[in-house]
C-alpha cells in the first residue's frame, strides 16, 4: 500500500456517531477506574498505531490538542500523516508541553513526571497519556481503590510503565495535579485517573 493511501484512509466511517461511541467508552472508563470497556475497531491506521489508540485520537484530538508521540509513532511518516490528516493535532517533541501523549512502547516510555501535571490553580492543564497495550490479562494484578470504585477493583494490564507503583504513588501525592492514563488494548480500554490509589499488588 502506498503511504499516502495509508494516510488518507482508515478514519471513522461515521465521524459523528463513531466519536460519540468512543467518547462514552472513555467516559465510562474514566468514571470507573480499572473497568474494562469494549470498543469495536472503528479506525484502521498505519502501524504501529493501533485501531483503538487511533479511534481515541480521532475522538479527542484536534488543532487545540498538543500531542507528544513516542519515537515509534513520531518516526513513522505514515503515522504522523494519518494523525494530522484525521485529527488536525499539533505535535510537540516536549512531553511537558503535551495535552496528550501517544505511547506505543510502554516499556521505554519517559517517566510519568516528565509529562505535565497542570498547576495547583489549573490542575486540568495536564497530560492525558494513551498507552497502547495488548490487553488486560497481565501476570501482575493491581488492586485499585478510590472515586469511581465501589469497594476495590482488580486491574491487570498486559504492560505497565517501569517502576509503575512508585511512579503512581508520586503522581497521586501531587493531587490535584497529576496525569491521567488511558490504556488502549485490542478492542478494550481502561483508565486510571489521578484519583485512583493502588491498594496492593498481586503477582
Partner 1 sequence: MTDLATYNFAYLDEQTKRMIRRAILKAIAIPGYQVPFASREMPMPYGWGTGGVQVTAAVLGPDDTLKVIDQGADDTTNAVSIRAFFQKVANVRVTTKTADATIIQTRHRIPEAQLQAGQILVYQVPIPEPLRFLEPRETETRKMHALEEYGLMHVKLYEDIARHGHIATTYAYPVKVEGRYVMDPSPTPKFDNPKMHMSPALQLFGAGREKRIYAVPPYTEVVSLDFEDHPFEIQTFSQPCALCGAKGSYLDEVILDDKGGSMFVCSDTDFCEDRQAKGHRGALAADTAEAAE
Distance between CA atoms of residues 154 and 5, nearest Å: 41
Residue 72 vs 143, nearer CB to partner 1: 143
Decide: is 19 part of the binding site for partner 1 (CB under 8 A): yes
Which residue in 63, 13, 67 sits closest to 41, CA to CA? 13
Which residue among 6, 7, 32, 57 contacts partner 1 (CB under 8 A)? 32
Distance between CA atoms of residues 122 and 117, nearest Å: 9
Decide: is 15 part of the binding site for partner 1 (CB under 8 A): yes
Q: Which three cell numbers stand for residue 53?
A: 489508540
Decide: is 70 part of the binding site for partner 1 (CB under 8 A): no
Decide: is 174 part of the binding site for partner 1 (CB under 8 A): no
- Beta strands (DSSP E) in the chain are 37-38, 66-69, 90-92, 100-103, 128-132, 141-145, 153-155, 180-184, 188-192, 197-202
Q: If phi over 0 gives left and psi between -120 and 50 gives alpha, with beta otherwise, what is residue 159?
A: beta
Residue 38 vs 121, nearer CB to partner 1: 121
CA torsion through residues 172, 49, 25, 20, sign:
positive
Apex CA 129: angle with CA 161 and CA 131, to 5°? 55
Q: How far is the CB of 85 from partner 1 (least distance, A)?
A: 16
Site string (76-95) toward partner 1, x via CB under 8 A = --------------------
Decide: is 193 part of the binding site for partner 1 (CB under 8 A): yes
Decide: is 173 part of the binding site for partner 1 (CB under 8 A): no
Decide: is 170 part of the binding site for partner 1 (CB under 8 A): no
Q: Which three cell numbers stand for residue 165?
A: 507503583
Decide: is 124 part of the binding site for partner 1 (CB under 8 A): yes
- Applying CB under 8 A, the site for partner 1 has a residue count of 38
| Binding region for partner 1 (CB under 8 A) | 15-17, 19-21, 23-24, 26-27, 30-32, 59-62, 64-65, 99, 119-124, 126, 128, 147-150, 175-176, 180, 193-195
Amino acid at each position: 500500500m502506498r503511504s499516502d493511501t495509508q494516510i488518507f484512509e482508515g478514519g471513522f466511517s461515521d465521524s459523528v456517531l463513531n466519536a460519540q461511541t468512543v467518547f462514552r467508552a472513555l467516559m465510562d472508563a474514566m468514571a470507573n477506574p480499572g473497568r474494562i470497556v469494549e470498543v469495536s475497531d472503528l479506525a484502521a491506521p498505519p502501524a504501529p498505531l493501533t485501531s483503538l489508540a487511533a479511534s481515541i485520537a480521532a475522538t479527542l484530538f484536534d488543532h487545540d490538542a498538543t500531542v507528544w508521540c513516542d519515537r515509534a509513532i513520531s518516526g513513522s511518516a505514515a503515522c504522523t500523516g494519518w494523525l494530522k490528516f484525521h485529527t488536525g493535532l499539533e505535535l510537540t517533541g516536549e512531553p511537558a508541553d503535551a495535552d496528550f501523549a501517544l505511547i506505543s512502547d510502554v516499556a521505554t516510555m519517559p517517566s510519568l513526571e516528565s509529562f505535565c501535571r497542570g498547576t495547583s490553580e489549573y490542575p486540568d492543564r495536564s497530560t492525558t497519556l494513551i498507552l497502547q497495550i495488548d490487553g488486560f490479562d497481565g501476570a501482575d494484578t493491581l488492586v485499585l481503590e478510590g472515586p469511581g470504585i465501589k469497594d476495590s477493583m482488580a486491574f491487570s494490564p498486559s504492560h505497565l510503565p517501569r517502576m509503575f507503583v512508585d511512579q503512581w504513588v508520586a503522581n497521586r501525592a501531587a493531587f490535584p495535579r497529576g496525569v491521567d492514563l488511558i490504556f488502549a488494548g485490542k478492542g478494550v480500554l481502561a483508565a486510571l485517573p489521578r484519583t485512583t490509589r493502588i491498594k496492593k499488588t498481586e503477582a
